Structure 1
Amino acid sequence: MCRWLAYTGSPLQMESVLFKAKHSLIEQSLHSRLGATTTNGDGFGLGWYSRPIEGRPIEPPFRYRSVHPAWNDRNLREAARAIHAPHFVAHIRAATDTPAQETNCHPFRHGQWLFVHNGLIRDYPLLRRDLMLMIAPAYFGSLEGSTDSEVMFLLALTFGLDEDPIPAIARMVGAVEETGRRHGVAHPINMTVCALDGERLIAVRYSSEGDSRTLFHNTCVRHLRELYPDNAQIAAMDDDAFLLLSEPLSDMAGVWEEVPESTAIIAGRGDVQHMRFAPIPPGE
């Protein structure tokens, strides 16, 4: 499968989490400890938002994607060193049933939104046509690749991601599960997903069988300073820093908490909310 991380808070240099951490995302692209595959070398992508300017609308997000392995792209390190952003996401890909091509690399983008996914829709070739027919015409033209992840994103937009993100994702999952049931597919969906809009991040850990891919977040920064008063990296973190990721960046005790199964998270502006997540079946 894949690995991803997302950040919201005061502007942070991407290099600090992509390269400098002991078990950085680049290290995970070669030696993932908790993923379904050890190596994630079928492409990567970054998405980020510029610092807000008072009185101006938030700029659409920037994106850089490549089919190269993340560990073998010199431009990636240059970009990560240069980018300091208040909201960003990074993804490394291990392709399953779809080609390694740029349009299949995450994050996917539409308007203000960025979207990443780790997991799968089981028997996706069997379900694909029915799911694609549910995408609203306003979003169907944005479809570029051939992954289940991109279809999940466009379905979430169809079901109201702009207006109410968690119910929109719940309706997307409900649609996938109902389609799977009609085709006799057991446990149709397994996912950790994250969507960003330039002000907050919205994430969900869920699977039909109750055994999702791993997902973690950092504990409160003020608590971390008490735990590790001499750690320069923690001392430099702002109080509002919130990092959500497929697997921890270090082995330091007390730094990371696992996100429970069937949980949704909304984080932004120093506020983090956890809530129980359940699919919404079609028609409800």
Structure 2
Amino acid sequence: MCRWAAWIGTPIFLEKLISEPEHSLIDQSRNALSCKVAINADGVGVAWYGDRPEPGLYKNVHPAWSDPNLLQLARQVRAPLFLAHVRASTGSATSYNNCHPFTLDKWSFMHNGMVGGFDQLRKRLEHGIDDALYLKRRGATDSEVLFLTAMGFGLAQAPIAAMAKAVQTVERHSRDVGVTPHMRFTGCWSDGETLYAARYASDDFAPSLFYHRSEAGTLVVSEPLEKNRSDWIEVPPNSVLTVSHTSLSVTPFIEGAREDNSPRVDDLIDA
């Protein structure tokens, strides 16, 4: 039920994602269209890349529509790469440390989805995080576990393969405890040079993912920033979108995963 938007291209002001579009991220925080629950009021966060290799980061536990600091930031901060997220919790507390995006070194990550049986699995999954990386764990979400697990699998060296392995590993543990849906994942991550976004589910209901490419750059979103979706391209289930300043590709995410039956958007249950 979370909503997110990302940009890579010529530098723009954050308000181009957050507040200006007809169906901006602030609008989506109280009126999401591509999931059953329309309200995403459990926090907001933005990561951006400027003159330094590591991303800037802003988070707040207030709803995006009632955060005046966010509007001020959106009007002043200009960057060539943004990750922005509004959160709807499926169980973990509304707190600063549970807000997306999550960052580590030059990497940033945000997520829309869920892990079946995470409450039963949390201890087991956290034990699987590399000791040095576990010291960086600040919150209690399944999303942060996926990010740190992927970092431990070598995200810096193999950004797609490491994330796919993390998703498969966590899904396998969910299958062990038998709680469905085992995995719903639409994630976005970046090192400041390239933007990656993947769409995957263990059932037929992969959370939505779209992109829009122009001469200025590429928008990647959980749902379009306009209510007219005709100019937006939907990423197929079990696919990963890779976008740089000069190229874009869509390739398989997890080899051998089910790819039958495209999801019905009106039936999506995201987290």
| Fold conserved between structures, TM > 0.5 | yes
The answer as to 2:74 corresponding to 1:80 is yes
Letter in 1 for 2:4: W
Residue aligned with 2:226, SS = coil
TM-score (norm 1): 0.87
Aligned CA RMSD, in angstroms, stands at 1.5
Corresponding residue to 2:114 among 112, 120, 133 = 120
Question: 3-state DSSP class of the match of 2:16?
Answer: helix
**Using the alignment, how far apart are the partners of 1:66 and 1:208 within structure 2?**
31
Q: Which deviates the most, 254-263 or 142-151?
A: 254-263
- Secondary structure of the structure 2 residue equivalent to 1:210: coil
Following TM superposition, by how much is the alpha carbon of 1:3 offset from its aligned partner in structure 2, in angstroms? Answer: 0.2
Counterpart Cα distance in 1 of 2:227 and 2:95: 33
Q: Is the 8 A contact 1:173 1:279 kept in 2?
A: no
Aligned to 1:41: 41
Q: Matches of residues 9-48 of structure 1 in structure 2 within 5 Å?
A: 9-48=9-48
**Corresponding position: 1:251 with 2:227:** yes
Distance 1:253 1:214, change over 3 A: closer
> SS state of the match for residue 244, structure 1?
strand
> Quick check: 98-107 or 33-42, which moved more?
33-42
Q: Which string of whole-angstrom CA distances, capped at 9 and with x for unpartnered residues, describes residues 101-157 of structure 1?
A: 000000001000110000110110111111111101121000000000000100010
Contact 1:174 1:280 in 2 (8 A): no
Structure 1: gaps spanning 5 or more residues: 52-57, 222-238
Q: Give, in whole Å, the separation in 1 of the partners of 2:252 and 2:124.
A: 28
For 2:71 and 2:179, how far apart are their aligned partners in 1? 41
**Equivalent residue for 1:148?**
142
Residue 257 of structure 1 aligns to which amino acid in structure 2? Answer: I
Determine whether 1:170 maps to 2:164.
Answer: yes
Deviates more, 1:31-40 or 1:256-265: 31-40
- CA distance 1:253–1:213, change in 2 (3 Å): closer
Tell me, yes or no, if the aligned pair for 1:117 and 1:191 is still in contact at 8 Å: yes
Instruction: String of CA shifts for 1:70-129, please: whole Å, max 9, x gaps.
Output: 000111111001011011110001111100000000000100011000011011011111
- How much identity, in percent, do the aligned residues show? 39
In structure 2, what residue type is equivalent to 1:241? G
* Contact 1:3/1:35 (8 A) holds in 2: no
Whether the 8 Å contact between 1:170 and 1:279 is mirrored in structure 2 is no
Q: Which amino acid aligns with 1:128?
A: R
Q: Deviations over 1:211-243 (max 9, x none)?
A: 11111100x42xxxxxxxxxxxxxxxxx14101
CA distances 1:10-34 after superposition (whole Å, capped 9, x unpaired): 1011112211101111001111111
Q: Alpha-carbon deviations, 1:180-218, whole Å to 9, x = none? A: 222223441101000011101111100111311111100
1:214 maps to 2:208: yes
Q: Could you tell me which residue of structure 2 aligns to residue 271 of structure 1? A: 247
Q: Which residue of 2 aligns with 1:231?
A: none
Query: For the Cα contact (< 8 Å) 1:41–1:93, is it kept in 2?
Result: yes
Pick closer, same or farther for the CA change 1:280–1:146 going to 2, 3 Å: farther
Q: Count matched residues.
A: 257
- The amino acid that maps onto 1:261 is P
State the partner residue of 1:234: none
1:5 and 1:71 map into 2 onto residues whose CA distance is 16
2:20 corresponds to 1:63: no
Does the 8 A contact of 1:46 with 1:90 survive in 2?
A: yes
Q: Secondary structure at the match of 1:248?
A: coil
Q: Which runs of 4+ in 1 moved over 3 A?
A: 251-254
Distance 1:153 1:264 in 2: 16
CA–CA distance in structure 2, aligned partners of residues 217 and 139 of structure 1: 32
Between structure 1 and structure 2, the one with the greater Rg is 1
Whole-Å separation in 2 of the counterparts to 1:49 and 1:68: 23
Q: Which runs of 5+ in 2 are unaligned?
A: 258-271
Q: Distance in 2 between matches of 1:280 and 1:198?
A: 30
**Corresponding residue of 1:104:** 98
